[in-house]
Each structure stands twice: as structure tokens, then as C-alpha cells.
Chains A and B, each alone.
Chain A
Amino acid sequence: MLTPEQLKEILKENVINLRFHARGGQGGVTASNLCVEAFYGFGVCQPKFGAERMGSPTESYVRLSAHDELVRSNEQVYAPHAVAVLDPSLLGEIDVTAGLVPGGWLIVNTTLDQISLQTIVGRKDINIATIDALGIAMEILGRNITNTIILGALIRVIPIFSMDALANAIMRRFKGSIAAKNVEAIKRAHEETCIYETKGAPQLDFTVDTKIPWQQVSPGLPGFKEIDDAGVWYCDEQVIEMGSGQVNTGSWGEYDIIWDEEKCTDCGMCWYICPDFAIVREKGDDGLWHMTGIDSYHCKSCQNCLEICPVDAISKKLKQGPAACAVPEE
């Protein structure tokens, strides 16, 4: 691991890139914002630009350096030196180590051990740190908010700025008692971080660039000679490889929606109100449509169906697993 002094020396002529993975509403952007605020030199934080929705996977990037010209770029971050994952349910859904520079750090809010994590991400050239941020959050903050806490683990493995600088940034950003509690939680996280330096992983080299040439152009998708020349996306053609049908909106929600076949009268009200076509039905031999279930891959548990069902055939159950729910900032 690098000492604060070594890192300070490196950042005079180099940039450190960070990437945060979270779900919409968990405060990934706030975490990256705090990095820029706490850092002594120049810094930029960018969300992955787009429409963020509650519960959907989000990314945000941070670029820090003591040299102003180096962070003047407005490029997105392609080669992070550390990746922080605020929500462990993202691990199976997103390639969180994409572009992570060999010798870099993956920091995850989880109670899983590092060996299991290494198996999930399939990388042996990176180091891993884990922190039970959820546990700390519930104990100190009383709520599932992990965005600040993970920063305590981050600066434990990569000391880009001091704990005091981070505490100051938080005191500036948050109000009274919330600020103090967050600082307490971060200090706990700093102590309780489990560090696993992979044997044989290379030394973190800040001159290595892992950006794949033309990555930003998404090679492999249809080019301008292959798409419709009026911008029309026909539903019966398989041109759209990134259409909304591919998006696992089912991972966004807090609840599993349960359908009771016994009570259901096939009235179809839920089918009409569902915004994601997640109510599955089939045409029977009698020529009528019958409900057959719920498409959990697309159901984001908005609960409209639950509200509208006249016979209480639909119910909800809190999802299992750690921190699968998105918590709004209040």
C-alpha cells in the first residue's frame, strides 16, 4: 500500500481516477463529490450522464491531481485506480472491475469474504478491501446510507486525503447532528476495513492506461450503414441491442411482488397500469386473456398493481439480501 507521502509525490505528475458504483438514491454522486471537496489539489467529479432513476445502477467518476492541467479534461473515467461499490447487489449485475488498473483496489460494502469476491469479479491482479458499511450505517446512522462510510475504507487503502480533510468536507456539506454521526461512522469504517492484498498483484502504476481504444464509441454495435436512415427503431427487428427490454429493472426495487392465482379474477387492471409490461398473461382456449405471473426481471416494484387490484390478489415481500434497497436522501 502507498503511504500518504508517496501518493502526494505521485499526484504531482499523475492523476488518480476513482469510480463509484451505487443505485440511484444511495448517494454515489455525493460520495464522489465529497472526494473532490476533501482533496487538497484539483479535482473533478462527474456522474455517468443520463437520467438517474431510483434504484437503477449508477456510476460516478472522480479525477484528482495536484497538477491542474491533468484534471482539466472533461473525459469520463475509463481507467480507475480504485472502484468503490456501495451496494453488493450490483456485483452480479455490473462488471465493477471493468478497466480497473492492475494493482488497483476494489472496495465493496459487503459481509462477504474476499475470496468469494475475487471469484465473483474474476480478477487476480487487483487488491480487495471490504467493509460492512451497512452494519455501521444501521448502528450509527440508524438508516441504510453507506455513501459516506465507504470513503473511510477508501482512504484506508488509498490515502488520497486525510481523515481530517474528509471530516471537514462532511461538516461543510451536511447539517449538524447528521454531519457528526457521519464523521463517527467514517472513522469506524476506517478502522474496520478488511484489507486483502492479492499475492502476485502488480504494484499500482499510475502511468498505466487501460482505456481500450475507441471504447467510448462502443464498437460492436451497429454502425451508421446498418441502422435505419430515418432513426426509426422497428420493434420486430433485432437491431436494438440496448433496448429497454434488456434492462434488468427488476433489480431496482425493494420488494418482490407476489401474485395469488387463487384470488385473481383476470380483470386485467394490473396489466393496464403496469409501466413495464411486467404482468405476464396468455390467451387461453376460451379466447380470453389469463394472467400467468409476474416478470420479475422487469418488475421494479412500483406497486401500482398492488394498489389497483380489486381483490387483493397481489402482495409484496421485502427482498432478501443485504442492502438491496435504495434509500432516498432526505
Chain B
Amino acid sequence: MSIEPMKMFFKEIKEPIETTMIGNYAVAGAVTQTDPDVICAFPITPQTQSVEGLSDVVNQGRLKAAFVNVESELAAISYSTAASAAGARAFTATASQGYLLMTEALPMAVGWRLPLTMMISARAFNSPNLSIWNTWEYTEVNSELGWNIIVSENVQETYDAAILSVMIADESLFPTIFVHDGFIISHSVQKLTLIPDEIVLRMTPKKPRHTIDPSKPGTWGGIVTPDYFMEGRARLEEAKKPVLNQMTEAFKKFKSETGREYNLIETYNLDNSSKTAFCTMGSMAGNIISWMYKNKDVGLIKIRAYRPFPYEELRRIVEEHGIEKLILLEKSDSLNGMLPPFSMSVATALYPLKTIFRSFIVGLGGRDVTRDEFDVAKKKMESVNDMKGKLYSYLGVRESKQKIYGT
């Protein structure tokens, strides 16, 4: 190859370097810098280059990690879980159907308090048709299993999230997923600034809680009777309580080392004239920010921490800025469920405030989300003054050859 995408990471990065990279390779680079011991994943579009990039740095001898080829995603998560339980720093990555295949092993990593990290390049589930493009599939399943989930908007954020996830997972001892939108971020070339290796290693010191010690044998995940199971769950609930604070602490530490500021929830232009704000996650937030350059009468609430969901923080923000109406945009649906999953989380958080909202399902299966959607959603919201009727609708979908639904 005349172009080696991972070349930057073949040697030590000594100072902040501004470069351009696609999301997946940026993640591979960041993971390299956190010095994992075990990398085990199964390729699936659009996640593939992240693991491919890591195989390259391992092959170059830059990273002294076990790069393990397995036959499926279930094997990948099982192997990573076991490696993590043995005290290794492990990384895996997946998307869509691969995430579904992992499902069987996902609860164990939570229950065993394993600081495992996983990247998801969000891609639609195959229903009714196969799609390799972006949908927020990670909100549709497995989100209540107890994995931490943080969502990134662009390449810089997903690079940083790979490092932040290790910090958060190590501190909370809960496995952590970081998500970027498949293709839109995983395959887009954007500018980013790399963090020097020394700083990354300082932020992510290895402090394994778990070890394998033959002199102290034990059983992981052995059966318990009803006398014990519920106590085990309540114990996890207790352990999960400080996670949002730990995330905030990790963000603070990250800011002091790199200057880049992250929060559980980020806000833009909330003190606007219409007291209305969009609320969304991921790459779509960038689209809205560009659109807001000429639409200064609405604001934006961008959720970064999806699990645990920062409901108190969201309430505080909405209350403090006097937001009266929210326009929820999400790339997932629930087929006549009460609300699609992201909106369900936001609605539950805001229940005591009685904030008026409507949810719009956009951009499924990689459909572009543009100013058209934002214009229409904003306009529709102007005439909404109560919570009567259906609370969600599709936007940007063809009803017939002649008609676009809802316009």
C-alpha cells in the first residue's frame, strides 16, 4: 500500500499531532495507545477497519497484545470477557447482527464487574431487509443489561471516547461501550488531534482488580438459589450508582490533560427565543449545529452518556433554561411501542417537569438527515401545545411515489 492508514501509530506519539483519519482507524489508534493486552473481535461492516487497524499495529510489533481470531461475535465477547476476568485489558468491537449474537454473553461482563471496552459502529438490524447502514441499534436491545454506553458525534470524539471508555470502565468496573454512527463517522475522514502516548498512559494506568491466582481458587457465575440471586442484583445496583459521577470525573481529568471538554449532556443555544430545543445523540447533533448557524431560535441538547441515563442532569438543564418544548430526533423505532427507545428514556426523565415533546424517527438504514427534516420538525413543533395524540412519527420517508409522509 502506498498509503498506510495506521502509520501514525507505528511509533510513539510524542506530541499532539493534528491529522486526518476515518473514525474506525482513529479508534484503532486510540485503543493502541491504551495498551490493551487482548484484542478479540469478529469483523462486521461498518466496524471492520477498527480491528483491521489493530491487527496492523500488532503485526508491526508496536503493540504487544494477543490478537485473537475467532469464529463469531459470541466467541469474541466470550473470549474478551474471560480475558478481562483474568485481569487483562481487553477490547472488542461489533455492530448490528454481531451485537445480537453477543447478547448471550453480555450480562456476564456486567455481573462480574469487568472493565471491558467495546466499540459499536451503529448499523441497522436486518428487518425487513438487510442494511449495512446506520441505525441506533444499540438503543433497541441490550441497553438495560448494565453496560455503560457513551455516544460520539465525530471522529475526534470517537477517538477520545476510546480512551475515555478505558478510564470509565477501569474506574467503575463496569464494561463500557462507545458508539459512533456507522459509515457516517466510521468511514468519514475528519481532522483530529492525537494525544501523546505518555498522556494516554497516564490517564489509563493499569490497575487490574481481577487476577487468576491458583492459591485462591473461586467460581465465577456459579448457580445460586433464590436465597441469594436478588442480593446479587441489588449489589450491582449499588455499585452502579456512582458511575455517572465517575464518568464526569473521567471527563474532567481528560480535560485537564488534553483541553477537550466533555459532559454527560452538552447544550447549545438553550437560551433561545422559542424556548424550544432539539434533543438527540451522535452524528446528527453535528448536522443540527451547522443548521442552527442560520436558525438561532432553537437550541440543542446532545446526550453523550446514554447508559446510565443522566436523568437528573437532563431535568436540571431543562428546568434551568426554561425549555418548554423538546423535539426528539432518533434513529430507531419500536413499531407501535409507546415511544422509540431513546425518546422513552428522555420522556421518563422529564416526566415530573411535564415538558411538551414530540419524537421524530429519522435517518433509518443510513438515510441522510438534512435541513429538510430539521425545518419540518421545528415547524410542526410550533403548533404543538399539549401531550395529546400520538407522540412520535416518522419523518423523511416516502408514503407513495408522489408523497413524502407528513409533509
Contact = CB atoms under 8 A, between A and B. Distances in A.
A202 B401 CA distance: 34
Interface string A31-43: 0110011000011
B399 A330 contact: no
Interface stretch (A70-78, A95-103, A158-166): A70-78
Contacts of A47: 187-188
B3 A174 contact: yes
Interface in A34-71: 36-37, 42-47, 49-51, 67, 69-71
B367 A217 contact: yes
Contacts of A222: 398, 400-401
A231 B129 contact: yes
Interface in B380-405: 396-405
Interface in B146-196: 154, 181, 183-185, 187-191
Contact of B405 (A49, A174, A224): A224
Interface in B347-388: 366-372
Interface string B3-16: 10000000000000
B18 to A, nearest CB: 10
Contact of B3 (A30, A70, A75, A223): A30
Contacts of B132: 50-51
B372 A73 contact: no
A272 B222 CA distance: 54
Contacts of A187: none
A49 B366 contact: yes
B372 A213 contact: yes
B97 interface: no
Nearest to A78: B370
A223 B128 CA distance: 15
Interface residues of A, number: 48
B225 interface: no
B20 A74 contact: no
Interface of B: 1-3, 19-20, 45, 127-129, 132-133, 154, 181, 183-185, 187-191, 283-284, 286-287, 289-293, 366-372, 396-405, 407
A45 B398 contact: no
Contact of A46 (B19, B20, B188, B397): B188
Contact of A70 (B191, B284, B290, B396): B290
A43 to B, nearest CB: 6
B289 A75 contact: no
Given A74-B184, A216-B370, A217-B396, 5 more contacts: A43-B20, A45-B190, A50-B132, A73-B290, A217-B397
Given A37-B20, A49-B133, A42 B189 contact: no
Interface string A133-153: 000000000000000000000
A49 B367 CA distance: 10
A73 B396 CA distance: 18
A330 B287 CA distance: 35
A219 interface: yes
A175 B2 contact: yes
Interface centre among B372, B398, B407 (most CB of A within 10 A): B398
A262 interface: no
B293 A69 contact: yes
A93 interface: no
Nearest to B293: A69
B154 A329 contact: no
B189 A74 contact: no
A69 B291 CA distance: 9
Contact of B189 (A46, A76, A223): A46
A234 interface: no
A223 B283 contact: no
A225 interface: yes
A116 interface: no
Contacts of B399: 223-225
B305 to A, nearest CB: 20
B97 to A, nearest CB: 16
B2 A223 contact: no
A267 interface: no
B370 A75 contact: yes
A330 B20 contact: no
B289 A73 contact: yes
A69 B2 contact: no
A211 B366 CA distance: 19
A32 B187 CA distance: 13
Contacts of A221: 398, 401
Contacts of B398: 217-219, 221-224
A30 B132 CA distance: 23
Given A213-B372, A216-B370, A74 B405 contact: no
B400 A72 contact: no
A178 interface: yes
